Amino acid sequence: MGVSRFTLLPLLLTVSSFLLHLSAAEMTGSFKCGGGRSATCSSLVGFAPQNATTLGDLQALFSARDLQSILAANDLPLSTPRNQRWSANQTIRIPIPCSCSNGTGISNRVPTYTVKVGDTLSGISSVVFRGLVQFQSIGDVNGIKDVDVIEVGQRLWIPLPCSCDKVDGEDVVHYAHVVEPGSSVEKIAAQFGTDNATLLRLNGISGDSELLANYAFDVPLRVCSSSVRNDSLDSPMLVVNGSYTITANNCVKCSCNASRNWTLSCEPSQLKPANWQTCPSMQCQGQKSLLIGNTTSSSCGPRSCAYAGFSNQTIFTTLSPDSCPGSRSGNHGSRFHSDWKFSVVSVQLVLLCLHLLW
């Protein structure tokens, strides 16, 4: 008995949809991460809770090391309490530790989730973590052979997607953005200040036809430039626009604001120090009355005392910009440059006179 084309058509559409969904699920299981900068880093995920909750509950759900890191990532006041309510479907940025291995990146052994009555891997993926991770990935990292069988009380590692790679040679912070229904690559690019080509390349897709709603999408966030030294304990200092970080054992607060020419702005945090009895001196080197965050005038314009990192005993500072434009070392450099030009002109005049006499 033959099959009518009216019966076959829905079947083909169903199979085609399944294959497309499967391909996208495999593609978005994790982000590309070759460890371009390092094997580990800090990354961000965007989470919109299904129901209203508190910041403390969000910290617990994502096994965040402290509430302060969540407040900083969202530019919330440090005085914000743990029981502060967070609205349903309102996106919050959660910092996660990222680890790169075999070309992909996933959160480094966190968060962990305890299975409750009625839970399934699919529900944990789509409802609890709102599409940030696919249930197949949860099963893989936890060695679950049958994804339909989990036990109440079982603790699961939730491998959130992340990356530590530079983009076009520049440091960025990778952000896992859950695609909203009806969105497009162009809309996402405009929302986060990047471009279509970069998003397509990072996510291994060719266009909107492969952009699936409720899946994590890799978005690189630009960071502010800083004066932090390579040998500092908090290097590299990567702070995205509209956020801040607390560093130097709680002694320094550094903020990133695009309106300030994408330059990191640091100041004393006024917090109780960690691991130090008191905060070390934040006086700018060679400037008796200038502290981190202060600005002074000079012959070539205003210069600020910038945070340059810290060691076990010291907070480093530097004047920014380091010198006057066109000089090597402030006024001395400018004088050297002028003297050099004068010498060249003098030699040329002597040669001209000799030529005329000859």
Q: Is 111 helix (H, G, I), strand (E, B) or coil?
A: coil
Among 13-22, 25-34, 82-91, 198-207, name the one with the lowest average pLDDT: 13-22
pLDDT band at 34, cuts 50/70/90? confident
Residue 303 burial class via C-beta count within 10 angstroms: exposed 0-12, middle 13-18, buried 19 and up: buried
Q: Is the peptide bond before 10 cis (omega within 30 degrees of 0)?
A: no
- What pLDDT, on a 0 to 100 scale, did the predictor assign at position 340? 35
pLDDT band at 174, cuts 50/70/90? very high
- Decide if pLDDT at 215 tops 70: yes
Higher pLDDT, 349 or 39: 39
Mean pLDDT of 342-346: 40
- Decide if pLDDT at 307 tops 80: yes
Its sign, for the CA torsion 181, 184, 187, 188, is positive
Mean pLDDT of 194-207: 97
Q: How many CB atoms lie within 10 A of CB 97?
A: 17
Mean pLDDT of 151-156: 98
Q: Which of 184, 176, 175 lies closest to 211 in space, CA to CA?
A: 184
pLDDT band at 277, cuts 50/70/90? very high
CB neighbours of 65 closer than 8 A, spacing ≥ 6? Answer: none
Tell me the β-bridge partners of 47.
92
DSSP-derived letter for residue 231 is T
Task: State how far the Cα of 347 lies from the Cα of 297, in Å rounded to an integer.
Answer: 37
- Cβ atoms of 221 and 174 within 8 Å: the answer is yes
Higher pLDDT, 55 or 3: 55
- Decide if pLDDT at 210 tops 60: yes
- What pLDDT, on a 0 to 100 scale, did the predictor assign at position 296? 87
Average pLDDT, the chain: 85
Q: Extract the tokens encoding 238.
A: 């990567």
- Decide if pLDDT at 308 tops 70: yes
| Alpha-helical regions (H) of 194-255 | 196-203
- What pLDDT, on a 0 to 100 scale, did the predictor assign at position 240? 98
- What pLDDT, on a 0 to 100 scale, did the predictor assign at position 328? 43
- What pLDDT, on a 0 to 100 scale, did the predictor assign at position 25? 36
- Decide if pLDDT at 21 tops 90: no
- Decide if pLDDT at 129 tops 80: yes
The single-letter code of the amino acid at 132 is L
- Decide if pLDDT at 354 tops 50: no
Mean pLDDT of 130-138: 96
pLDDT band at 327, cuts 50/70/90? very low
Task: State how far the Cα of 258 lies from the Cα of 224, in Å rounded to an integer.
Answer: 8
- What pLDDT, on a 0 to 100 scale, did the predictor assign at position 326? 56
| pLDDT > 90 in the chain, percent | 74
Domain ranges of the chain: 27-222, 243-320
Instruction: State the greatest distance between any 2 C-alpha atoms of the chain, in Å, as a whole number.
Output: 114
| Angle (deg, nearest 10), helices 185-192 and 196-203 | 110
Location of structure tokens 């990047």: 194
Strands 172-178 and 40-47: parallel
Q: Which of 94, 97, 96 lies closest to 57 in space, CA to CA?
A: 94
Mean pLDDT of 165-178: 96
pLDDT tens digits for range 284-301: 977 878 999 999 887 777
Mean pLDDT of 267-274: 96
- What pLDDT, on a 0 to 100 scale, did the predictor assign at position 26? 43
- What pLDDT, on a 0 to 100 scale, did the predictor assign at position 325? 58
- Our CA dihedral for 189, 190, 193, 194, rounded to 10 degrees, sits at 30
| pLDDT > 70 in the chain, percent | 80
Which helix H or strand E contains 53, and what residues bound it? Answer: strand 53-54
